[in-house]
Structure 1
């Protein structure tokens, strides 16, 4: 009798997460140690740039085209209007839902939420227990 072979790989997500954490830790430690080991390369690179006169060219600031520039942020007071709150109820029982009793403060500003009357599974012609 033949033994069925599975082509699916079995993953242990906890082990994969631990491996990822070790990689991140090594990267952080390497980034901290790099200036001590290889920082002299940056000094010689900067000296070479200054000697060649390319420092000014690399430091030149490019001007963005007009269509890529961003506008300064609009102050929130311009488009958000906050009115006064109704008086706070005197009892804790009246405190529940006291803001929703005022029509201007209700969350449903655009009417009631209508739930769908159709079923996605019924539209596809699937059995209702097809999805669990």
Structure 2
């Protein structure tokens, strides 16, 4: 056990070791006497577990109404079409962006992404250094 470090006071390692041994012995003794003092708690816990298992055996299963039931999932093949890919290029330079060259395979199906070019500070007529 590491001794507490306090400036200006000498540390006696033998006393610290004795204190640690006393703490360990107290823990061992209390572990031995716990069943006599508090063992009744384990018996009541076992009774509760047995009662709950009896209750779980007698549970009545209810049928959901038709309007609350979920439909089985639709297979993806029914609404997603995957066409053939273009042939793989032979060189590494041609490999970069080879799928984006085909218009049907481009990621931007709904047009280009438009980033805002306005500035809140410019709209108010403030300097750009007004907010930091």
Please give the TM-score of this superposition, normalised by the length of structure 1: 0.54
Pairing of 1:38-53 with structure 2 (within 5 A): 38-47=45-54, 49=55
**Are 1:117 and 2:124 counterparts?**
no
Change (3 A) 1:61 1:44: closer
- Which whole-Å CA distance do the structure 2 matches of 1:121 and 1:67 have between them? 53
Look up the SS of the partner of 1:114 in the other structure.
Answer: coil
Pairing of 1:22-101 with structure 2 (within 5 A): 37=42, 38-47=45-54, 49=55, 56=58, 59-101=59-101
User: Unpaired runs of 5+ in structure 2?
Assistant: 1-41
User: Unpaired runs of 5+ in structure 1?
Assistant: 1-36
- Which whole-Å CA distance do the structure 2 matches of 1:97 and 1:61 have between them? 57
Deviation at 1:42, TM superposition (A): 1.2
Larger radius of gyration: 2
- Which whole-Å CA distance do the structure 1 matches of 2:121 and 2:63 have between them? 55
The alignment covers a number of residue pairs equal to: 89
Deviation at 1:128, TM superposition (A): 3.9
Asked which structure has the greater RCO (Cα within 8 Å, sep 6+), the reply is 2
Deviation at 1:117, TM superposition (A): 2.5
